[in-house]
C-alpha cells in the first residue's frame, strides 16, 4: 500500500474507531479520502464523505475531464454502496 494512502487510512480509522457502529459520518479532504477507506468505514457503520483528486486510481477516467461538459453540471457514478459525484463549477474545471 502506498505510504500516503496507508497513513491517511490509518489516521481516519484511528480517529473514528470509538464511533464504530454508531451510524455517524466523517468528512475528509483529498489527502484522507480513499475508496478502500470508505468501504472499510461503511462496514463499521460509518458514512464517509470526502473530496477525491481526479487522478486517483479509484476514479473512473470519464470523471476526470470537464472538457465538453456543461457548466454547473454534475455526473454521478455508483460503485456498489459508494457514490462518486463530479461537478463542473467553472469552465474546464471539475470538482
pLDDT in tens, 50-62: 998 877 777 777 7
- Please check whether residues 33 and 75 belong to one and the same domain: no
- Please check whether residues 1 and 46 belong to one and the same domain: yes
Q: What is the pLDDT of residue 47?
A: 97
3-state DSSP helix/strand/coil % of the chain, to nearest 5: 30, 25, 45
Q: What is the pLDDT of residue 1?
A: 47
- Please check whether residues 24 and 68 belong to one and the same domain: no
- Please check whether residues 58 and 44 belong to one and the same domain: no
Residues 16-47 pLDDT 10s: 999 999 999 999 999 999 889 999 999 999 99
Long-range interactions of 2-5: CB distance < 8 A, separation 24+: 4/31, 5/34, 5/36
- Please check whether residues 35 and 58 belong to one and the same domain: no
What is the spatial distance between Cα 95 and Cα 86, in angstroms, rounded to a whole number? 6
Number of structural domains in the chain: 2
Domain boundary among 51, 70, 85: 51
- Cell representation of residue 17: 474507531
Enclosing domain of residue 63: 54-95
- Cell representation of residue 29: 479532504
- Please check whether residues 40 and 58 belong to one and the same domain: no
pTM over the 0.95 mark = no
Amino acid at each position: 500500500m502506498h505510504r500516503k494512502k496507508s497513513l491517511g487510512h490509518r489516521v481516519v480509522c484511528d480517529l473514528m474507531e470509538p464511533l464504530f457502529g454508531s451510524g455517524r459520518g466523517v468528512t475528509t479532504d483529498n489527502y484522507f479520502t480513499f475508496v478502500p477507506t470508505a468501504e472499510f468505514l461503511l462496514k463499521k457503520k460509518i458514512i464517509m464523505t470526502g473530496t477525491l483528486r481526479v487522478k486517483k486510481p479509484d476514479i473512473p477516467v470519464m470523471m476526470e475531464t470537464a472538457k465538453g461538459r456543461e457548466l454547473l453540471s454534475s455526473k454521478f457514478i455508483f460503485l456498489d454502496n459508494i457514490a462518486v459525484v463530479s461537478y463542473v463549477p467553472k469552465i474546464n474545471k471539475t470538482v
